[in-house]
Amino acid sequence: MCESCGCSGGIDHFHVSGSIVRPAASGEVKVMRSLLRENGHQAAHNRAHFDAVHVLAINLMSSPGAGKTSLLEATIRALGARLSIAVIEGDLETENDARRIRAAGAPAVQITTGNACHLDASMVHAALHQVDLSSIDVLFIENVGNLVCPAAFDLGQHHNVVLLSVTEGDDKPEKYPVMFRAADLMAITKVDLMTAVDDFDPALAKRHLRELANAAPVLELSARSGMGLGSWIDWIIDEAASRRRFRTAHHGTAHG
């Protein structure tokens, strides 16, 4: 701390004979770059990896406990031999989710983030070294359960899927606009609990999403009962197929 005036001693405070002056600035340089430029570069690099081997990459985000891991377990079982899946799991402390994914029949790489509240593109890149991308069709990245921080970081995914469970309230898109604006698909989960939760209105949740100028499809499903899972599985199959069409269209050119 500066002893002259008790200020934090920053460079703005230079004391001459009791007055505060500031040395003339030698100049200001315009930069105009994204604060997350570095992450953006790494994300583009990840995406190029996925595209080179025609893997569909999906970033799964939600609050803690909205059912990301349960949805993945049900997805792995439902897709069976039709599509080959791998999962990158972001978790603060445990390997519990990765164990559940492996038990469901898909390879899983755990990123234990410690105190980090989100995944970033370089964490995903490091985890990719443990994934055999050439042997899979779809890579799910299960982000840290958090409706705020993960929204800011591009991981190189093709799509963001945001889950909203019926026990959370239908106004979540209104409360977390940054996250829900980023959704390429919103999945309303645990709809088997709707009878017990009488104040969740899926139409209202959808309206809140539209009020973020987001035209993303909205699916209602339950990983536990299997209700609505068909549309979700169809969406994944369609998206994975479009990646393969991408391969046919671009083979030998941009990604050859």
**What is the phi/psi pair of residue 113, to 5°?**
-85, -10
49, 54, 118, 206: which one binds other proteins (CB under 8 A): 118
C-alpha atoms less than 13 angstroms from C-alpha of 87 in its C-beta half-sphere: 28
Contact between 19 and other proteins per CB under 8 A:
no
Q: Which of 153, 163, 152 is nearest to 72 (CA)?
A: 163
For 224-237, b where at least 16 C-beta lie within 10 A, e where not — what string?
A: eeeebbeebbebbb
- Cα dihedral 61, 66, 71, 73, rounded to 10, equals 100
Min dist. Cβ of residue 121 to other proteins (A): 11
DSSP 94: -
Cα separation of 16 and 221, whole Å?
69
Contact between 23 and other proteins per CB under 8 A:
yes
Residues 6+ apart with CB under 8 A from 24: none
Contact between 36 and other proteins per CB under 8 A:
yes
Min dist. Cβ of residue 180 to other proteins (A): 9
Of 13 and 47, nearer to other proteins (C-beta) is 13
Contact between 177 and other proteins per CB under 8 A:
yes
Q: Which of 86, 48, 47, 51 is nearest to 244 (CA)?
A: 51
Contact between 41 and other proteins per CB under 8 A:
no
Only one of the segments 13-21, 60-68, 194-202, 244-252 lies at the binding site for other proteins (rule: CB under 8 A); that segment is 13-21
Of 41 and 244, nearer to other proteins (C-beta) is 41
Min dist. Cβ of residue 90 to other proteins (A): 13
Min dist. Cβ of residue 115 to other proteins (A): 9
Structural tokens at position 184: 């390429």
Min dist. Cβ of residue 152 to other proteins (A): 4
Min dist. Cβ of residue 210 to other proteins (A): 5
Contact between 44 and other proteins per CB under 8 A:
no
Contact between 211 and other proteins per CB under 8 A:
yes
Cα separation values, 127 from 34, 38, 86, 112, Å: 25, 18, 12, 11
Only one of the segments 69-77, 87-95, 175-183, 197-205 lies at the binding site for other proteins (rule: CB under 8 A); that segment is 175-183
For the stretch 109-115, contacts whose Cβ atoms lie closer than 8 Å and that sit 24 or more positions apart, written own/partner, are 113/144
Contact between 1 and other proteins per CB under 8 A:
no
Contact in structure between 23 and 34 (CB atoms under 8 Å): no
Only one of the segments 14-22, 67-75, 99-107, 242-250 lies at the binding site for other proteins (rule: CB under 8 A); that segment is 14-22
Min dist. Cβ of residue 43 to other proteins (A): 13
Contact in structure between 239 and 159 (CB atoms under 8 Å): yes
Cα separation of 65 and 77, whole Å?
20
Tell me which residues touch other proteins (CB under 8 A).
8-12, 14-16, 22-39, 116-118, 120, 148-149, 151-153, 173-175, 177-179, 181, 208, 210-213, 215
